[in-house]
Amino acid sequence: MAERSIRQTTDGRSVAARLPKAERRHQLLDTALAIVREEGTDRLSLGHLAERAGVSKPVAYDHFGDRSGLLIALYRWIDTERMNTFRDGLVSRNPNAAEAISELASAYIDCAVDTSGDFHAVGAALAGSDEKAVVLQELQDQAVEMFVAILAPHSDLRPPELERRSIGLVGAGDALSMAVLRGTCSRADATQTFSSLIATCI
């Protein structure tokens, strides 16, 4: 079902712009991310989002329910988008095993230790939220799927075994990233160690 938003033409007339619901949600999330980048998470409210996106408040509330729902949706979307972009880009280039392992290890560690990014800014705004823990588990599951998709062309393991090993690799990547954030390991050393672990697991 298409949703209607009101926009002004150059001569001041109001016209209705209609978008399918999925496209409207994508537009709203894009706008929410722009607000976070330009004004900070404190300015991210459903009312301000509706104003910036050129839709009525009920449209924004229909998609996200409340501010917490908006933050959760944005948190999930940011990480899903970057994982999908990385996975699809890497797979499309058909790298050899060494290249795939190196790029996967580097990208995973880099994303996890980037505390200045949009993902961490939105995550900080969700501190203490019970829903955040649920979403983090969903995102961890997606990370496992990404590892399987990237590593499968370079592994002779049966799919269930590769999935189990990918679960372990995601855990190892998270632990190495935490060591970098604590200052007990350099980013370069963590990436090298993670690359070695991936190579021995597939």
Task: Indicate which CATH number applies to the domain containing 30.
Answer: 1.10.10.60
Is 116 found in the same domain as 93? yes
In the chain, how many domains are there? 2
Is 86 found in the same domain as 107? yes
Is 180 found in the same domain as 101? yes
pTM score above 0.75 = yes
Is 52 found in the same domain as 81? no
The tens digit of pLDDT for each residue in 115-147 reads 777 888 888 888 877 888 888 888 899 999 999
On whether the CB atoms of residues 90 and 84 are closer than 8 A, the answer is: no
Radius of gyration of the chain (CA): 20
The tens digit of pLDDT for each residue in 45-77 reads 999 999 999 999 999 999 999 999 999 999 899
Mean pLDDT within 73-95: 89
Per-residue model confidence (pLDDT) at position 17: 62
Per-residue model confidence (pLDDT) at position 48: 95
- Residue 58 class from Cβ within 10 Å (0-12 exposed, 13-18 middle, 19+ buried)? exposed
Per-residue model confidence (pLDDT) at position 15: 38
Q: Which domain holds residue 98?
A: 68-201
With a cut of 70, say whether residue 2 has pLDDT above it.
no
Residues whose CB is less than 8 angstroms from the CB of residue 170 and which lie 6 or more positions away in sequence, other chains included: 140, 143, 144, 147
CATH number for the domain including 141? Answer: 1.10.357.10
